[in-house]
Amino acid sequence: MNERPPIVVLGANHAGTRLVVDILRTLGSAAGRIDNEWLEDETFLEIHRRLIGRVAGKGWTDTIFDMEFVQSYRDDARLVPEMRDWLAQSLSDSFPDRTAPWHWKCPTAVMFLPSWTEIFPEALFVHIERDSTEVARSLVRRRQFLGFGRAAAFYEAMNRRILEARGTMKNYVRLSMESLGDGLPALVEMAGLDPGQEALLRARRGIRLDPARGWRADRSVLGNLWEAATNARAAVRGRNGKR
């Protein structure tokens, strides 16, 4: 059986990786078992939880959003044998047919790129970037950071790690969230997809860069107030040159 290498979606948390997963799925690539709000395949999400458990002394959330960890941890690929074993045990549950295009994403993969480029040397790494203020807005809105400056610094540190590992990637495409539609032809070509015009149009229609930020009936009063405060702080930061 001639298996295809995966398409690996890279980007910091809240940079647009979920949208890229949805676009690839619309274009005909298998997304695996993504029954969670992050659209992260269960096999790769569990592998990254295990990796964090091996290399960090704190829990999952406390580690993946910890600036000291993001800036200082260096993957030496020593866990590659275990990662291969984990993949052998569960990858077929998520992707039973790997002769067709398939993709996965987990922002924490950024911390283990030397391992992943060794395991999947022929993979296509799709790197999505986004304006740092928008990423910070989303991180603060979800209370993963309280300060915009620290949230933006987290995004920049994660993005920098991807760029530092760029030289180890044989196949790489860089996309911008703000011009994602313009990047679709390159993505389709490099991923070896043949979606047809109808699917390509659906993918373009699915790109939403400015979601509604008004008062929502499905959100609590406190949630709406936090959203409004976050948006106001983002606007001030933008007017002040993202300081």
Give pLDDT tens digits for 37-63: 899 999 999 999 999 999 998 899 999
Domain boundary among 147, 171, 188: 188
Domain boundary among 188, 203, 223: 188
Based on the fold, state whether residues 123 and 238 are members of the same structural domain: no
Based on the fold, state whether residues 97 and 181 are members of the same structural domain: yes
Number of domains composing the chain:
2
- 229 found inside a domain: yes
Based on the fold, state whether residues 168 and 238 are members of the same structural domain: no
- Helix, coil or strand: residue 128: strand
- 193 found inside a domain: no
- 201 found inside a domain: no
Based on the fold, state whether residues 232 and 184 are members of the same structural domain: no
Instruction: Among 116-125, 131-140, 211-220, name the one with the lowest average pLDDT.
Output: 211-220
* 103-105 β-sheet, strand order: 103-105, 7-10, 124-129, 171-176
More confident residue, 144 or 66: 66
pLDDT at position 226 over 50: no
- 196 found inside a domain: no
Average pLDDT, the chain: 88
Residue 65 neighbours by CB under 8 Å, 6+ apart: 13, 144, 145, 154
Based on the fold, state whether residues 234 and 184 are members of the same structural domain: no
pLDDT of residue 11: 97
Based on the fold, state whether residues 71 and 167 are members of the same structural domain: yes
Residue 200 neighbours by CB under 8 Å, 6+ apart: 27, 184, 188
What span, in angstroms and rounded, lies between the C-alpha atoms of 209 and 20?
12
- 206 found inside a domain: no
pLDDT of residue 222: 53
- Domain with 228, as residue range(s), is 213-243
- β-sheet bridge partners, residue 125: 8, 172
Based on the fold, state whether residues 78 and 150 are members of the same structural domain: yes
Based on the fold, state whether residues 131 and 238 are members of the same structural domain: no
pLDDT of residue 215: 46
